[in-house]
C-alpha cells in the first residue's frame, strides 16, 4: 500500500510540473471546460465541472446524473487547491501516506475543504496558482484523471509515465 501511495504521489507531482500554462484567460477556460465535458461524456461520467480563478467562476456546467452535492464537493476541493496550490488528490495521497488527517496536518476543516481527487491548480509559469479546475461526480481517482487528461489535451502535453493507472 505504501508503494502505491508513493508511486501515485510521484506521478501527481510530475503532472503538476507538466500541466502549466504560459497564460490563462476566459477563452482558455471555455475551451478546457468543453474538453472536460467531452471527456466525461466519452467515459460515461456524470460530473459537475468548475473552472474558477480566485475571484470568479469562468466555466461551470453539469452533466445529467449529478446532484447538488457535487457543487458542494467542488467548493471544498477548490478551497483545498487554492489554499495549498496542489491538486486535492495529491494532498489526500500525501496525508494518507503520513497517516494524518487534513484538520491535523493543515488546519483544514472538513466543512470547507476536501482532500479527494478532482481539484487541480491552474498554474502559470512564473506566477503560481491563479485558480482551480474542479470536477465531482465519480470516484475520486477518476475525477482527478478526467481533469489531468483535459489539461493535457488543452496544453498539448503527453502525460506519459505521469498518467495514473486505473
In a domain, 145, yes or no: yes
In a domain, 66, yes or no: yes
> Is the sign of the CA dihedral 132, 138, 141, 142 positive or negative?
negative
What is the domain count for the chain?
A: 1
Residues 6+ apart with CB under 8 A from 69: 136
Contacts 24+ apart (CB under 8 A), 95-98: 96/5, 97/2, 97/5, 97/6, 97/9
In a domain, 166, yes or no: no
- Residues listed for the chain: 166
In a domain, 28, yes or no: yes
In a domain, 164, yes or no: no
Nearest C-alpha neighbor of 120 from the set 39, 25, 51, 64? 51
In a domain, 70, yes or no: yes
Query: In terms of residue numbers, what domain contains 146?
Result: 5-157
Dihedral angle of Cα 103, 10, 153, 70, to the nearest 10 degrees: -20
Residues paired with 51 in a beta bridge:
59, 133
pTM: 0.96
In a domain, 53, yes or no: yes
Q: Which residue has the cell 478532482?
A: 118
Q: Show the cell assigned to 118.
A: 478532482
Tens digits of pLDDT across the chain (166 residues) = 566 989 999 999 999 999 999 999 999 999 999 999 999 999 999 999 999 999 999 999 999 999 999 999 999 999 999 999 999 999 999 999 999 999 999 999 999 999 999 999 999 999 999 999 999 999 999 999 999 999 999 999 999 999 998 7
CATH code assigned at 133: 3.30.450.150
In a domain, 112, yes or no: yes
Amino acid at each position: 500500500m505504501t508503494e502505491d501511495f508513493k508511486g501515485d504521489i510521484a506521478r501527481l507531482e510530475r503532472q503538476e510540473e507538466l500541466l502549466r500554462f504560459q497564460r490563462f484567460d476566459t477563452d482558455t477556460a471555455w475551451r478546457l471546460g468543453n474538453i472536460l465535458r467531452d471527456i466525461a461524456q466519452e467515459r460515461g461520467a456524470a460530473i459537475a465541472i468548475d473552472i474558477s480563478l480566485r475571484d470568479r467562476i469562468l466555466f461551470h456546467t453539469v452533466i445529467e446524473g449529478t446532484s447538488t452535492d457535487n457543487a458542494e464537493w467542488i467548493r471544498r476541493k477548490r478551497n483545498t487547491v487554492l489554499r495549498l496550490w496542489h491538486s486535492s488528490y495529491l494532498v489526500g495521497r500525501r496525508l494518507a501516506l503520513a497517516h494524518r488527517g487534513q484538520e491535523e496536518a493543515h488546519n483544514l476543516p472538513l466543512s470547507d475543504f476536501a482532500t479527494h481527487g478532482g481539484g487541480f491548480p491552474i498554474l502559470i509559469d512564473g506566477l503560481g496558482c491563479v485558480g482551480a479546475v474542479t470536477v465531482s461526480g465519480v470516484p475520486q481517482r477518476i475525477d482527478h484523471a478526467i481533469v489531468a487528461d483535459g489539461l493535457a489535451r488543452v496544453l498539448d502535453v503527453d502525460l506519459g509515465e505521469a498518467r495514473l493507472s486505473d
